[in-house]
Amino acid sequence: MAGLFGDSFKCYTAANKLFSELNDTFGVAYSHCGIGNALRMKADYSGALLHFRKATALYRKIGDIVSFSYTLWSLGKTYAMIGRLDKAMDYFRQSSGFFRKTKDPRGIIYCKLGMGEIEFLRGRLSPALANLNAALRDSLSNGFSVEKCHAAALLSFVNKKNGKNGNRCYNKLGLKLKFQSIPFNIP
């Protein structure tokens, strides 16, 4: 989250080795998701997809719907980053359904952010703004500071303010995140 993606990759890789030796299926799945996210943040999208697929298979096996949902969101974000917008939207919709089922407000917010980005990239401003404004509102009502920054930064870009407001928000939280264009490769 803080922008130390190389460190994250090293830690999740070590965790994967340890959990594999212990035959801890949840730990292996969780570490694959972490490795996938670290690789995505380093723009290694094919490596990220490989690890997300391993994580989803293991989460299905053990029936962990919450972690599975976040991995589906990560797949959506990865596909958004490589311009496969239809596939990204499918993953965001799938994960949103599971987040609603498990009543996970943070996950729902991340899906609204992702869907807002996709709508914006498709040139559909009205649904983009609806999703991003809903994400901002829900972030504020739940007290989620990082998600509030994501929504504010995306809205700033959509409203042609070059992200200045959102990037300032990250600075206040001590996060080393700065985005130049949509889609944001958010951790």
The model's pLDDT over 80-105, given as tens digits with 9 standing for 90+, comes to: 999 999 999 999 999 999 999 999 99
Half-sphere exposure of 23 (CA within 13 A, CB side): 0
Question: What are φ and ψ of residue 177, in 5° steps?
Answer: -115, 135
- pLDDT tens digits, residue range 3-39? 557 667 888 899 999 999 999 999 999 999 999 999 9
Instruction: Decide: 25 and 62 in contact? Cβ < 8 Å.
Output: yes
3-state secondary structure the chain: CCCCHHHHHHHHHHHHHHHHHCCCHHHHHHHHHHHHHHHHHCCCHHHHHHHHHHHHHHHHHHCCHHHHHHHHHHHHHHHHHCCCHHHHHHHHHHHHHHHHHCCCHHHHHHHHHHHHHHHHHCCCHHHHHHHHHHHHHHHHHHCCHHHHHHHHHHHHHHCCCCCHHHHHHHHHHCCCCCCCCCCCCCC
Q: Quote the percentage of the chain above a pLDDT of 70.
A: 93
Kindly report, residue by residue over 123-161, the tens digit of the pLDDT. 999 999 999 999 999 999 999 999 999 999 999 989 876
Q: Which residue has the tokens 């995505």?
A: 40
> Does residue 182 carry a pLDDT above 80?
yes
Measure the CA–CA gap between 119 and 69, rounded to whole angstroms. 21
Instruction: Read off the tokens for 174.
Output: 């001590």
Radius of gyration in angstroms for the set of CA atoms belonging to the chain, rounded to a whole number: 16
pLDDT, residue 75, reads: 98
User: pTM of the predicted model, to two decimals?
Assistant: 0.92
Rounded Cα distance, 2 and 175, in Å: 5
